[in-house]
């Protein structure tokens, strides 16, 4: 009886290992396609004159996002994939966060940019980014995750930090969304954007902020998937902070009279990105690689 049970357990582990390798191969293929499409889309957005058809300030912001995606997002994604292929769990968590970064900004291009010749590239970026996140998560080994977080891992401190950021972000978004919801005229938050909605509110309030909050709660309780979500979110926030700093500067430069973007916010978001490196450092330092165990 014991031999039968052992055989079944071994068979189960083998089956999970095969499934993990299958997801892993798919994740690399899809994320490589994401990197290629994102490089083309961001380069075309930034360098092609007249391709953007929005207001001047929104076009400037879109170009700012594009250049950060091109010179930082794509190289970081490729580096994370390469290091993950060599067995780095830290890199795999970063890979998930970077794919989430591309998904977030692809939504912005699809919904906040009037349809243009790059629309199908933006759609491809969005689809590939979503599948990259899903496949990179599916390829994680849960047993490896359980043994990778050191006993000194500051899960509650990091969870508290993340919950504070989520709470502040939610408050700021609702302070703009609630008055707009009950306004009888044109919504103030849309003035000068040429938009009919605010894609940052749309995706953050419906998906990203609740997901990250749940991840922080799970991490507080010691669940490994919560630690994955929080680690990916910390990576996402640092890169996004740099992106917002640049898009505020370029949006303001494109239309200095606009209140939609302000160069004074550039140092603020740059500082937030730098501050975000601190919890990210403690997270990664306490995430043990296989060689450390």
Express each pLDDT in 142-159 by its tens digit.
788 878 887 788 999 999
pLDDT at site 9: 39
pLDDT at site 4: 54
| pLDDT tens for each residue of 14-29 | 445 555 678 899 999 9
Confidence of residue 31 (pLDDT cuts 50, 70, 90): very high
Stronger pLDDT, 102 or 15, i.e. the higher one? 102
Distance CA 65, CA 251 (A): 10
Average pLDDT over residues 168-191: 91
pLDDT at site 11: 42
Q: Which tokens sit at 108?
A: 């912005």
pLDDT at site 117: 97
Among residues of the chain, what percentage have pLDDT more than 90? 82
Q: Poorest-confidence range of 10-14, 61-65, 239-243?
A: 10-14
Distance CA 159, CA 96 (A): 18
Distance CA 104, CA 204 (A): 9
pLDDT higher than 70, residue 1: no
Distance CA 136, CA 243 (A): 23
End-to-end CA distance of the chain: 33
Q: Which tokens sit at 133?
A: 């996140």
pLDDT at site 290: 64
pLDDT higher than 50, residue 195: yes
Distance CA 264, CA 8 (A): 62
pLDDT higher than 80, residue 6: no
pLDDT higher than 60, residue 122: yes
| pLDDT tens for each residue of 213-262 | 999 999 999 999 999 999 999 999 999 999 999 999 999 999 999 999 99
Residue among 105, 151, 157, 144 at smallest CA distance from 128? 105
């Amino acid at each position: 009886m014991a031999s039968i049970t052992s055989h079944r357990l071994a068979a189960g582990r083998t089956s999970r290992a095969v499934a993990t390798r299958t997801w892993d191969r798919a994740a690399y293929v899809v994320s490589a396609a994401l990197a290629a499409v994102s490089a083309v889309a961001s380069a075309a957005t930034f360098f092609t004159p007249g391709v953007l058809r929005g207001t001047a300030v929104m076009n400037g912001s879109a170009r700012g996002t594009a250049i950060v995606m091109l010179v930082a997002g794509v190289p970081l994604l490729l580096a994370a994939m390469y290091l993950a292929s060599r067995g780095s769990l830290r890199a795999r968590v970063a890979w998930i966060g970077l794919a989430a970064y591309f998904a977030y900004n692809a939504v912005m291009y699809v919904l906040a940019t009037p349809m243009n010749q790059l629309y199908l590239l933006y759609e491809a970026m969005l689809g590939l980014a979503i599948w990259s996140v899903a496949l990179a998560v599916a390829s994680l080994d849960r047993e490896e995750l359980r043994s990778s977080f050191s006993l000194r891992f500051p899960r509650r401190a990091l969870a508290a930090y993340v919950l504070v950021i989520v709470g502040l972000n939610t408050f700021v978004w609702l302070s703009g969304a609630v008055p707009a919801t009950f306004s009888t005229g044109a919504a103030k938050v849309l003035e000068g954007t040429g938009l009919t909605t605010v894609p940052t509110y749309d995706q953050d309030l419906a998906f990203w902020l609740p997901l990250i909050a749940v991840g922080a709660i799970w991490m507080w309780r010691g669940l490994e998937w919560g630690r994955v979500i929080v680690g990916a979110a910390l990576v996402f926030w640092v890169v996004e902070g740099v992106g917002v700093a640049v898009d505020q500067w370029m949006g303001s430069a494109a239309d200095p009279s606009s209140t939609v973007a302000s160069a004074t916010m550039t140092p603020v978001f740059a500082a937030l990105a730098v501050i975000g490196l601190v919890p990210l450092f403690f997270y990664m330092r306490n995430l043990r690689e296989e060689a450390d165990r």
